[in-house]
Structure 1
Amino acid sequence: MVDDDDSFSTTTVHASQLRSIVERIERLEEEKKEVAEQIKEVYAEAKGNGFDVKTLRKIVALRKKKPEERTEEEAMLDLYMQALGMLPGGEG
């Protein structure tokens, strides 16, 4: 094994860069944890004000989707529910 200055400095730079990346990820993970806790608190507040948390979560998920994605998803849900006899005219 050859030890030369270029090999050592490259390893040092990569180690330094790696450490920086890992530390950034750790900070972001901590921020994510704090945000998740804040979201949990907002849902608890909503529940305390009489809102249904399960429905709120569904609304938040639906708002993330494009209208055409929601329409397609709803059509598939209706189709499956009808096939299972869960809607009027279903075969179930």
Structure 2
Amino acid sequence: MTGLKWSRSTSSSASSRRTEHTVHQRPKYAFNSIEQVQAIADDWLIQYNEYRPHDSLGGVPPKQFMLRLITTTAADSGNQLPA
């Protein structure tokens, strides 16, 4: 009876229901734990705030901008201590 449509449709239907049931039982999260989410967010925040070029800072990353600012300020003051 392998050539009959009826025998194939029953097994196909049962298989698709089993697959659908299994898929719907799995959690739909991309992360395994809240700690993983926190670590990824922390890494992104450091990348965004320290290493990504910012248009408002002349296209340089904030970390590089701060070093330039400190160097420029120190050079302008002549490295003299206030009296």
TM-score between both structures, scaled by the size of structure 1? 0.38
User: Which structure carries more helix by proportion?
Assistant: 1
TM-score between both structures, scaled by the size of structure 2? 0.41
